[in-house]
């Protein structure tokens, strides 16, 4: 998707506060992605939970390739809990960390049946108690399946928040806190998806042309511009922490 016409500032523009940056970024993202879809195929809270858990160290495209067969095999926690780890592994073998994920799916389904009546809980603490479910996965499920105000931060959002000077980049917890403070609560659900799509289309980790990016051309701090020319995400993260 081309959006050169959406640029509103030049690289020589005045220094902006984080709040001013966030406002401009939000406006641009809303124009580019007014109704961003969830990139992982699913049909209910359980299948969304499974898909997000499977997406660690794996592209959404690869997850979407295996989940149709997996969900046909095990459409509910009760059914998945009855399957062997080997059966689950066969269905997801092409994904990264497949053996660990298969064990987690089995254990997660058993816990859902045993402790939650076979339903996905709509509570952060309960979700994080499930095997293979971390804070980011729980946040996605609460936001997208239950409409709760969370701001899921994955490695891509973490990287872009630092690149745009919205957060220090020290860790994902800090980034989540900073983004929640900068963006209005009623935008969180769509904003994290918008940032993911923007990163894929305009702001890659490597071989990124700063002056061709509709956001980085004016939002990236000078220290990060220098680090970015080295072609590595590592210098970028170190510069963000200074």
pLDDT at 234 > cutoff 70: no
Helices assigned H by DSSP within 129-232: 135-144, 155-163, 172-182, 188-202, 216-219, 222-228
Q: Which of 154, 178, 186, 242 is catalytic?
A: 154
Q: Give ∠ CA 240-153-54 in degrees, rounded to 5.
A: 130
Q: Which of 136, 178, 180, 211 is catalytic?
A: 136
Confidence at residue 169, expressed as pLDDT on a 0 to 100 scale = 78
- For 102-140, how does the pLDDT look when each residue is reduced to its tens digit (9 = 90+)? 999 999 999 999 999 999 999 999 999 999 999 999 999
Give this prediction's pTM. 0.87
Q: Decide: 63 and 55 in contact? Cβ < 8 Å.
A: yes
Give catalytic status of residue 123 as yes or no: no
In the chain, where are the structural domains located? 4-36+151-240, 45-144
User: Mean pLDDT across the chain, nearest whole number?
Assistant: 90
Confidence at residue 106, expressed as pLDDT on a 0 to 100 scale = 98
Q: What CA–CA distance (Å, rounded) separates 149 from 144?
A: 9
- For 205-225, how does the pLDDT look when each residue is reduced to its tens digit (9 = 90+)? 998 999 999 999 999 998 888
pLDDT at 145 > cutoff 90: yes
- For 93-103, how does the pLDDT look when each residue is reduced to its tens digit (9 = 90+)? 999 999 999 99
Tell which phi-psi region holds residue 56, choosing left (phi > 0), alpha (psi between -120 and 50) or beta: beta
Structural class in CATH, domain 4-36+151-240: mainly alpha
Per-residue confidence at 229, pLDDT binned at 50, 70, 90? low
Q: Decide: 145 and 120 in contact? Cβ < 8 Å.
A: yes
45-144 has which fold? Endonuclease III; domain 1 (1.10.340)
pLDDT at 235 > cutoff 60: no
- DSSP 8-class letter at 118: T
- For 71-83, how does the pLDDT look when each residue is reduced to its tens digit (9 = 90+)? 999 999 999 999 9
Give catalytic status of residue 154 as yes or no: yes
Structure tokens, 49: 């939970």
Query: How many CB atoms are closer than 10 A to CB 230?
Result: 11
- For 7-38, how does the pLDDT look when each residue is reduced to its tens digit (9 = 90+)? 444 444 468 999 999 999 999 999 999 999 99
């Amino acid at each position: 998707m081309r959006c050169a016409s959406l640029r509103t500032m030049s690289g020589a523009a005045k220094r902006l506060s984080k709040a001013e940056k966030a406002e401009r970024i939000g406006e641009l993202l809303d124009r580019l992605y007014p109704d961003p879809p969830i990139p992982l195929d699913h049909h209910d809270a359980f299948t969304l939970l499974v898909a997000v858990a499977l997406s660690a160290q794996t592209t959404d495209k690869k997850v979407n390739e295996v989940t149709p067969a997996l969900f046909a095999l095990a459409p509910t926690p009760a059914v998945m809990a009855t399957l062997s780890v080997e059966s689950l592994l066969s269905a997801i073998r092409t994904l990264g960390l497949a053996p660990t994920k298969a064990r987690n799916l089995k254990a997660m389904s058993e816990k859902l049946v045993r402790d939650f009546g076979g339903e996905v809980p709509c509570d952060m603490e309960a979700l994080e108690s499930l095997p293979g479910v971390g804070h980011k996965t729980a946040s996605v499920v609460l936001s997208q399946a239950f409409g709760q105000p969370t701001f899921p931060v994955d490695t891509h959002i973490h990287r872009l928040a630092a690149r745009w000077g919205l957060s220090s980049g020290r860790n994902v917890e800090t980034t989540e806190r900073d983004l929640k403070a900068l963006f209005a609560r009623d935008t969180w659900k769509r904003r994290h998806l918008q940032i993911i799509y923007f990163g894929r289309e305009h702001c890659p980790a490597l071989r990124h042309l700063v002056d061709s990016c509709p956001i980085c051309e004016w939002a990236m701090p000078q220290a990060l511009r220098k680090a970015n020319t080295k072609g590595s995400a590592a210098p970028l993260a170190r510069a963000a922490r200074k």
